């Protein structure tokens, strides 16, 4: 699925401050290398239904064996193995019982200490990977990791590693056995161990995806075989919120555009981002935070959420809004299935210009049957000018004005919002009272 950097940023899939990213919320990897593999998986959402469903099935299987996943491989273990493979070790004689080997402990004390420290971690890596291989080979259906599992099996069957597979970690090895294994792992099996490290990092990334599904109680979407875009969900929430409110929504050929209104802070942006994130995760083969979700495969996901000006290039906020919507429309007209997210269209110009521009864009978008669009606006009057039978779904978030506060239910309602509460917010936050303290007659 095509997703550009702007859309990833708008949805906070990745974020400069990682703790605010969707990636961080779903990262349950145990190793630094696994984290990087997971990031690469997150950067490549799929557009093939069969591949997505194979991922879902595999992650479901992984979830069922998580309690058997080997704990012996830690981030520290792999750092030790990495350091061991590059450590400037003094040579070990090929003849294990040679005099130089018998004296190795005294002639090369630092290297011998490194050998004794590293061997248990090497055993943990090899035996842990062997356990993982047994867990995942029990899943016989086609799945995304089959080629990697075959590679892992070939590596573990190599004669130079077989001894480590059956080694007893709890038994202290003799001097000569330690030197023999050190020589094997540094020479004959060095490339195999590098490959095993990389394979484990990939397994760790997939473990994380399954772990996230279990811990966050995510639901695997159902993908509809359809040439036209479709999205339907019940009790969908935003994955980064601790106490979210669920949304029910359906978009299809009859309702291709959601026209969303409501006061600031009422929940418009949260809903739009919740749907964008859910579709993104669904195309990764992951579960989503919803009671139920069914959708078609989308070819691309585009957002118009965060726009900024560019002083250096002399570009205004409105100019950049226009350029972004132009690129969006060009994509939407290419015949592929798009999900488009537009939050507060045309904020960078006066109200009358914004109204005319918005109506023109909306009337064009609803004529594109291969795209579904979610559009929020603060210009409620636009809704009255739009045809009611043009494939537009009108929904709003209601705000209740109470004596001392504003109450947001975050529940979608049918129709167009009539709330006008900007001045109430100024009053509630004390801005009006502060302004009233400013003298009206200032001589100067």
Task: Check if the beta carbon of residue 219 is closer than 8 Å to that of residue 288.
Answer: yes
Q: Tell me the whole-structure pTM to 2 decimals.
A: 0.90
Parts of the chain with a pLDDT under 50: 309-315, 444
First to last CA, the chain: 63
The token duo for 385 is 């000018």
- Residues 107, 111, 115, CA angle at the centre, nearest 5°? 125
**What DSSP assignment string belongs to 342-399?**
EESS--SS-HHHHHHHHHHHHHHHTT-TTEEEEEE-S-TTHHHHS-TTSSEEEEEEEE
pLDDT value of residue 128: 95
Helix axes 32-42, 190-215, angle to 10 degrees: 60
pLDDT tens, 94-151? Answer: 888 888 888 989 999 999 999 999 999 999 999 999 999 998 887 766 778 888 888 9
Nearest residue to 114 (alpha-carbon basis) of 19, 198, 185, 62: 185
pLDDT tens, 403-426? Answer: 666 677 778 889 888 776 667 777
pLDDT value of residue 140: 65
- The answer for 232, left when phi > 0, alpha when psi is -120 to 50, beta otherwise, is beta
Nearest residue to 11 (alpha-carbon basis) of 304, 330, 412: 304
pLDDT value of residue 314: 37
- The answer for 237, left when phi > 0, alpha when psi is -120 to 50, beta otherwise, is beta
Helix axes 109-137, 75-86, angle to 10 degrees: 130
Q: Strand, coil or helix: what is 125?
A: helix
Domains of the chain, CATH where assigned: 27-215 (no CATH), 222-436 (3.40.50.300)
How far is residue 173's CA from residue 191's CA, in Å, rounded to a whole number? 24
Nearest residue to 289 (alpha-carbon basis) of 182, 189, 215: 215
How far is residue 27's CA from residue 15's CA, in Å, rounded to a whole number? 13
Nearest residue to 237 (alpha-carbon basis) of 248, 229, 221, 226: 248
The token duo for 217 is 């109680």
Q: How deeply is 56 buried, as exposed, middle or buried, from its count of CB atoms within 10 A (0-12, 13-18, 19+)?
A: buried
């Amino acid at each position: 699925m095509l997703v550009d950097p702007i859309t990833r940023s708008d949805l906070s899939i990745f974020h400069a401050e990682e703790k605010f990213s969707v990636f961080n919320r779903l990262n349950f990897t145990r190793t630094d290398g696994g984290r990087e593999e997971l990031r690469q998986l997150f950067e490549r959402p799929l557009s093939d239904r069969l591949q997505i469903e194979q991922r879902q099935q595999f992650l479901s299987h992984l979830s069922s064996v998580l309690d058997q996943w080997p704990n012996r491989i830690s981030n520290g273990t792999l750092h030790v193995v990495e350091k061991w493979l590059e450590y400037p070790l003094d040579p070990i004689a090929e003849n294990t019982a040679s005099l130089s080997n018998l004296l190795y402990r005294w002639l090369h004390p630092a290297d011998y200490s490194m050998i004794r420290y590293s061997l248990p971690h090497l055993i943990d890596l090899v035996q842990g990977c062997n356990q993982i291989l047994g867990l995942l080979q029990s899943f016989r259906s086609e799945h995304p990791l089959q080629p990697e599992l075959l590679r892992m099996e070939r590596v573990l069957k190599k004669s130079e590693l077989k001894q480590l597979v059956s080694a007893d970690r709890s038994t202290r090895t003799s001097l000569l056995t330690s030197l023999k294994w050190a020589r094997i792992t540094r020479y004959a099996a060095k490339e195999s161990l590098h490959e095993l490290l990389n394979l484990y990092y990939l397994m760790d990334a997939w473990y994380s995806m399954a772990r996230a599904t279990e811990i966050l109680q995510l639901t695997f979407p159902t993908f509809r075989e359809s040439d036209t875009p479709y999205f339907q969900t019940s009790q969908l929430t935003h994955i980064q919120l601790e106490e979210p409110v669920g949304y029910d929504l359906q978009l299809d050929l009859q309702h291709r555009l959601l026209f969303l209104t409501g006061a600031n802070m009422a929940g418009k942006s949260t809903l739009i981002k919740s749907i964008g994130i859910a579709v993104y995760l669904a195309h990764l083969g992951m579960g989503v935070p919803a009671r139920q979700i069914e959708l078609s495969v989308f070819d691309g996901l585009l957002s118009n959420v965060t726009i900024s000006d560019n002083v250096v290039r002399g570009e205004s906020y409105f100019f950049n809004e226009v350029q972004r919507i132009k690129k969006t429309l060009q994509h939407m007209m290419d015949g592929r299935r798009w999900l488009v997210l537009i939050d507060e269209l045309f904020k960078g110009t006066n109200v009358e210009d914004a109204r005319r521009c918005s109506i023109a864009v909306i009337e064009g978008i609803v004529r594109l049957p291969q795209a579904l669009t979610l559009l929020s606006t603060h210009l409620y009057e636009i809704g009255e000018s739009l045809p009611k039978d043009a494939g537009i779904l009108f929904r709003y978030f209601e705000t209740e004005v109470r004596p001392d506060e504003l109450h947001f239910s975050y529940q979608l309602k049918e129709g167009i919002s009539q709330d006008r509460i900007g001045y109430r917010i100024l009053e509630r936050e004390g801005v009006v009272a502060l302004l009233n303290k400013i003298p009206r007659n200032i001589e100067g």
